[in-house]
Amino acid sequence: MLTECEYKYRLQDVAEPNLYRDFFSYSEIPKCAFNHRLTPTDPPKEIWITDTTFRDGQQSRAPYTVDQIVTLYKMLHKLGGKKGKIRQCEFFLYSDRDKEALARCQDLGYYYPEITGWIRASKKDFQLAKSMGLKECGILVSCSDYHIFKKLKKTRKQAMEAYLAVISDALEVGIIPRCHFEDITRADFYGFVIPFALELSYLMKESSIPIKIRACDTMGYGICYPGASLPRSVPGIIYGLRNYAGFPAHLIEWHGHNDFYKAVVNSATAWLYGASSVNCSLLGIGERTGNTPLEAMIIEYAQLRGTLDGMDTTVIRDIADFFENDIGYRIPEHTPFVGSNFNMTQAGIHADGLLKDEEIYNIFDTAALLKSPPSVSITQTSGQAGIAMWLNTYLQTPSQTIDKNDPRVLQIKEWVDAQYTAGRITTISSEELVEVCNGIGICK
């Protein structure tokens, strides 16, 4: 099918910044505008995940130790499977710790995730990346007028010229530049983003070295809704980079933040509209509200493609346990897929359904896929079914399943009811239940 793309957008070197005050008044919550132009979905033949745990993921917490980075990198390799669906892993390059961690991960000899860098935009730093054996490096090229005018104190023309000079330096030493289009969801898309991307396409043709674009939703303003207006429209951004700048899917990557709870859905939308790659971090740890959680996009991949393509989802539990037990990071209990209570019920009616067939109230076979079987905690609403489910989980004797009408269940329920009649407002702990069980002769 022929797509009209004859018109070439040129840089609009405006005297005053375009801050889109109709959308971003700052004194109010940002507005979502619609122009009702519908963009067709165009999912690439192949999609994958990249990781920024050791770069953006270290910008909101204490730095990882070298050993922690190596362990997590090994887990990412196993999680991504033999097809390398976790394609790349991004590292800082500056401190001795960064360099040691990178070298030790390189020594493992894994093809995936490929180790890439993130550096300042200078020729000296590109030489550093080259000396460390990296084929690709990220470069910050801020593209909104908020950054160009207010932070860099430049005009659009000056910013573009500076960016192109730095990217040319990378090409000179044979490094694949990954251009981080910072704050793209507040940028003048046709006045700067597309003209700049076109200049990159010309450099790519001249050098015969691929140039990647990472579309960075730096503040989480991206919107997935059909018919939403630029600059916030995720479908519009990906469609424009594909069709107006001529970038193929495998050179486009989405990098989202979760300020408005849209990191996951925006990343999935980027896949659906033509970006091969979405950039994530483990547990979503990153600047402010964090990045797109990598484990979430593993599950999203399986939903969109109907297969895990060899990814080992049981490693997600290992990663979560490593963060809590070795790193000391507390995962909120109800975090999907990784929180200790993400598939725990307190409702008696849910526990009753789980006793009959766990498929009724469990999202999928979480025991097999995530090493996290469904569980129950006991409160005044758990009822006999909840207590029976807790007992069966605790005793772990499938051949001797305890029914909710078992007299021992009724004894425990009487004790639980008495607790709340007396004014208790907290959940019954497993330790208390074990003590009650021992008192009535139920021992593991």
Position 78 scores a pLDDT of: 98
Average pLDDT, the chain: 93
Q: How far is Cα 198 from Cα 330, in angstroms, rounded to an integer?
A: 44
Position 127 scores a pLDDT of: 84
| Mean pLDDT, range 39-64, rounded to an integer | 95
The three-state secondary structure class of 177 is strand
Residues whose CB is less than 8 angstroms from the CB of residue 301 and which lie 6 or more positions away in sequence, other chains included: 47, 49, 85, 308, 309, 311
| Mean pLDDT, range 159-188, rounded to an integer | 95
Position 7 scores a pLDDT of: 74
- Structure-block tokens of residue 327: 């790193």
Answer for the pair 292, 281: CB distance below 8 angstroms, yes or no. Answer: yes
Please determine, for residue 402, whether its predicted confidence score (pLDDT) is greater than 90.
Answer: no
Answer for the pair 82, 111: CB distance below 8 angstroms, yes or no. Answer: no
Please determine, for residue 257, whether its predicted confidence score (pLDDT) is greater than 80.
Answer: yes
pLDDT band at 119 (very low <50, low <70, confident <90, very high): confident
Q: How far is Cα 290 from Cα 63, in angstroms, rounded to an integer?
A: 15
What are the domain boundaries of the chain? 48-327, 344-439
Q: How far is Cα 376 from Cα 348, in angstroms, rounded to an integer?
A: 9
More reliable by pLDDT, 99 or 343: 99
Please determine, for residue 235, whether its predicted confidence score (pLDDT) is greater than 70.
Answer: yes
Position 441 scores a pLDDT of: 78
State the Cα torsion 231-13-155-157 to the nearest 10°: 100
Answer for the pair 51, 64: CB distance below 8 angstroms, yes or no. Answer: no
| Mean pLDDT, range 40-63, rounded to an integer | 95
| Mean pLDDT, range 395-408, rounded to an integer | 78
Position 377 scores a pLDDT of: 80
If we measure between CA atoms, which residue out of 225, 224, 211, 150 comes closest to residue 181? 211
| Mean pLDDT, range 415-444, rounded to an integer | 85
- Structure-block tokens of residue 223: 């919107």
Please determine, for residue 442, whether its predicted confidence score (pLDDT) is greater than 70.
Answer: yes
Position 271 scores a pLDDT of: 98
> Residue 321: which H helix or E strand, with range?
helix 314-322
Answer for the pair 49, 278: CB distance below 8 angstroms, yes or no. Answer: yes
pLDDT band at 360 (very low <50, low <70, confident <90, very high): confident
Please state, for a pLDDT cut of 90, what percent of the chain lies above it: 73
| Mean pLDDT, range 167-175, rounded to an integer | 93
User: Looking up tokens 């067939």, which residue turns up?
Assistant: 357
The three-state secondary structure class of 276 is coil
| Mean pLDDT, range 7-30, rounded to an integer | 94
Please determine, for residue 435, whether its predicted confidence score (pLDDT) is greater than 90.
Answer: no
| Mean pLDDT, range 188-202, rounded to an integer | 98
Position 341 scores a pLDDT of: 86
DSSP β-bridge partners for residue 254: 215, 278
Domain 48-327 coded CATH 3.90.226.10: no
pLDDT band at 275 (very low <50, low <70, confident <90, very high): very high
More reliable by pLDDT, 387 or 113: 113
DSSP designation for 107: H
Q: How far is Cα 256 from Cα 264, in angstroms, rounded to an integer?
A: 8
Torsion angles phi and psi, residue 383, rounded to 5: 65, -175
Please determine, for residue 431, whether its predicted confidence score (pLDDT) is greater than 90.
Answer: no
Position 5 scores a pLDDT of: 61
Position 381 scores a pLDDT of: 85
Please determine, for residue 444, whether its predicted confidence score (pLDDT) is greater than 70.
Answer: no
